[in-house]
Structure 1
């Protein structure tokens, strides 16, 4: 005669780690998404560095195009791996009924979200390494040469990735279905890329566009990354004439908190109309 297993579940952190591994394996099974998310920033960097860098053309005070646009491509890569990927994936899982079934299991919601954020951190890190390797090997972009610059790269990357992931969770409740998710999320991502200094030199954008971009986190991620890869004198090209590390952290933390509040208040485990 069998007895029920009354042993307690593992802690949330242990379950979150297990869920992270599950999410990472699931991510790499979606080959089309993997190729787009990993290849897009690399291809865009190659295009901008090749087209605009012809004849030794430079940006500002002699900065090679590849070196100037690498920070923006790192930032947009984080946006794709975190915000866009999270918003689309959760909307699709909800539409298929996966979230509803998962909600009926003993898995704590905390472990589920830790797994999602862990997957985003893992894939974003792989993408970062890939971008740095391509920039260094193909375009001879100098990597950070001081521990302070590497530290800045680390905290901007980690804070930006966490912010993007949390905001993606909150935004995932806006699309009404998986079919409409791409139409809702993709335009937001494209507009942010165009106004945040990813495809163009930020200091050359109209002032009103700079002010609009300053409301959103992508502009600040790109600026933080520029402080890592560009010479100190390039800070004069920024609207404030400095890198504004303190303001970068405040804006990203503010969006992290906003995304967390929005996610808690609006997150749905099932489709609209389901009972």
Structure 2
């Protein structure tokens, strides 16, 4: 026996939903929710890379911006390290683009994608299938994690190989990168799922989500040095997770003497972990309260 959920948007087959009872074998055990979620990760990743607009505006966008800034400000110096070496534009913007990639992969990608699936009937069909909502979430978050890892590797690779940016040699720096990345990507994914309930249709999703994401990038130290923003704007941006993701990434990739430019003159990794943890919990709660397979007013 085969369970089907429809045919549009590529979600109609048994393999995509991850459900089968094995042909005529009625005694075969149905996979649990976690196993179904892991199966769905592969489908979500394939779907993501088939969307050309998504590749440009979420996956490749931070890399493109790093290239633009690195070339446009190739003659500029953004300061010096402890040995007197100039910090180039590529070096300075590397942590910012990594943080922006986390936000784009999680918040923008999922908010627009899920809102579109809700609008075109994909989620309504999934609601009529045995696919648990937990498995659906695992698929989406897994897709964000996989694409986020690939994106981060490309950004770091371009910075190091094309522009000669020195990478950290201390293991503790890479350990910091690991937990900031994992906490940042999971937090962004949870917030993206929660934000997907705001647009009233798939057509309006980009108009609702992209301005929010773009505003956060400008006030959180991604495109503009955070220390040069007005104090009141720094305080406002500090209430949102992107500022803390960027700060954590700066601790990993910028010279130690750049710590003096941070608020309070410290990297404040404890604050990075605390604020990202708070937003993760808030995102999970909002997901639980607001997520619906279909809009109530539809």
Shorter-normalised TM-score: what interval? over 0.9
Change (3 A) 1:208 1:199: same
Q: Note the alpha carbon deviations across 1:136-188, whole angstroms, 9 max, x for none.
A: 11111111211101111111011000000000000100111011111110110
| Partner of residue 27, structure 1 | 48
Correspondent of 1:58 among 68, 71, 78: 78
1:60–1:196 CA distance, 2 compared to 1 (3 A): farther
TM-score (norm 1): 0.95
CA–CA distance in 1 between the matches of 2:263 and 2:144?
31
Name the structure with the higher helix share.
1
Q: In the alignment, what sits opposite 2:11?
A: none
Which deviates more from structure 2 when the two are superposed, residues 59-68 or residues 259-268? Answer: 59-68
| CA distance in 2: counterparts of 1:65 and 1:223, whole angstroms | 17
Structure 1 outlier segments of 4+, above 3 Å: 59-62, 271-274
Equivalent residue for 1:230? 254
Highest relative contact order (Cα 8 Å, sep 6+), 1 or 2?
1
C-alpha separation between the residues in 2 aligned to 1:180 and 1:18?
30
CA contact (8 A) 1:177 1:271 kept: no
Unpaired runs of at least 5, structure 2: 1-22
**1:18-57 Cα distance to aligned partner (Å, 9 max, x none):** 0100100111111221133222111211221222231x52
Cα deviation digits, residues 40-78 of structure 1 (max 9, x gap): 111211221222231x52236642221111100000011
TM-superposed deviation, 1:267: 0.9
Determine the C-alpha separation between the residues in 2 that align with 1:104 and 1:192.
37
Once the two structures are superposed, residues 64-114 of structure 1 have per-residue CA deviations (whole angstroms, 9 ceiling, x without a partner) of 221111100000011111110000000000001111110111111111101
- What is the root-mean-square deviation in Å for CA atoms of aligned residues? 1.6
Mapped contact 2:168–2:253 kept (Cα < 8 A): yes
Segments of structure 1 that go 5 or more residues without pairing to the other structure are none
Please name the residue that 1:110 is paired with.
134
**Structure 1 residue 7: Cα displacement:** 3.9
**Residue in 1 aligned with 2:63?**
42
Counterpart residue number, 2:8 = none
Q: Would the aligned equivalents of 2:111 and 2:196 in 1 still touch at CA under 8 Å?
A: yes
TM-score, structure 2 as length reference: 0.88
Partner of 1:181: 205
1:143 aligns with 2:143: no
